[in-house]
Structure 1
Amino acid sequence: MSTPLFPDTPVAALPPAKRRTLRVIAVFELVKGMAALAAAIGLLSLLHHDLRHLAVELIGHFGLHPDAPYPSIFLHYADILSDQSRRTIILVATAYIGLRFFEAYGLWYSRVWAEWLGAVSGALYIPLEIRHLLLHTTWMNAAVLLGNIFVVLYLLLELRRRHQHHVAVTLRRATLPR
């Protein structure tokens, strides 16, 4: 009988601090998925609508001038977002939402695959977050970057700890007299 390289640890067997940390990360991933779901539903409700007309009405409602920098950017994107591009964005968002929910489930139940998924997907965002922080230096952007680095490092350390434990158990079994 073979054993997996990184066996899952039953949730009850985890020390309370590690269980809490994994569950906080799981809730954070769930919240990201819920935020993306809300945005996707909002975008879905805009299908088959004239975005430029809606944007002009919104700008007028807030008493902004359409030639001002931010309203003009808003109008520009309202012009270039076709129904087809909105459908594509919704499709990508659906995949992202599924991934976040899947990861949250796995982290909640202390699954190794979820730790790998969280570490890899989180690490992919770090270069983008660094670039964003360099372009728009704010405390919030710095906090997001540091939080993401913390999550990735924690998950990688957990994976390393599991591997070391697995190696130790395997060596112990190999040296036991038969």
Structure 2
Amino acid sequence: MQVETRSGLKVIAIVEALKGFISFAVVLGIYAFPSKDLRQLAELLVQHFHLNPVHPISEMLIDLSRRVPQLNMSLLMMIAVLYTVVRWIEAYGLWNEFRWTEWLALISCAIYIPFEIYAAINHPSKVSITLLIINLGIIAYIARTLYSKPESNFAAQN
């Protein structure tokens, strides 16, 4: 169980780090194209990564960028930087098996469940259902990991 727990947490840590890198790429994109509107930025991202513009994820990104009013790019960049830092802290903590980051991961995954259920019911697609299943699996895995560890002093863990 211990080796399985470590490897599972490391996989989740890698995923969280990747989410941080993607968010950081968004920050760089906002910084590199400050005069562009969000729609142009979304279309540039789709084009740069050679994504199919009619693929559901690409369409969702472009559609979302059309619906969002032109925001203060500095605010958007600060939010993306904060998200990046949180993802990297979570990845570091999961990699090193800090119990508090396991709780952070559990809570941060659980926050998305109501939205993913809504999307799976109202806009069912392979992507929405797959994301819901993966997120529920991660929550179950982290919960099992948390509850299988004996309680210990927070300071002694770190």
Where on the TM-score scale, by shorter chain, does this alignment land: which range? 0.7 to 0.9
Cα deviation code 1:26-83 (max 9, x no counterpart): 0011111111111121122221x1539958x97xxxxxxxxxxx7x9588458x314x
* Identity rate, percent: 27
The CA deviation at 1:166 is: 3.5
The CA deviation at 1:89 is: 1.3
Structure 1 partner of 2:37? 51
The CA deviation at 1:19 is: 1.0
Structure 2 partner of 1:100? 87
Structure 2 partner of 1:116? 103
Change (3 A) 1:160 1:43: same
Which structure is larger by alpha-carbon Rg, 1 or 2? 1
Q: Distance in 1 between matches of 2:108 and 2:91?
A: 13
Q: Detail structure 1 runs of 4+ shifted over 6 Å in the superposition.
A: none
Which runs of structure 2 are paired with 1:1-16 in the superposition (5 Å)?
15-16=2-3
| TM-score normalised by length of structure 2 | 0.73
The CA deviation at 1:136 is: 2.3
3-state SS of paired residue (1:29): helix
Which runs of structure 2 are paired with 1:20-169 in the superposition (5 Å)?
20-47=7-34, 49-51=35-37, 76-77=66-67, 80-82=69-71, 84=72, 86-162=73-149, 165-166=150-151
Change (3 A) 1:43 1:17: same
| TM-score normalised by length of structure 1 | 0.66
Q: Distance in 1 between matches of 2:65 and 2:100?
A: 43
For the aligned residue pairs, the C-alpha RMSD in angstroms reads: 3.0
Cα deviation code 1:58-114 (max 9, x no counterpart): 7xxxxxxxxxxx7x9588458x314x2x21111111111111000000000111011
Q: Could you tell me which runs of 5 or more consecutive residues in structure 1 were left unpaired when the two chains were aligned.
A: 1-13, 59-69, 168-178
Q: Which amino acid aligns with 1:126?
A: I
Structure 2 partner of 1:9? none
Change (3 A) 1:37 1:112: same
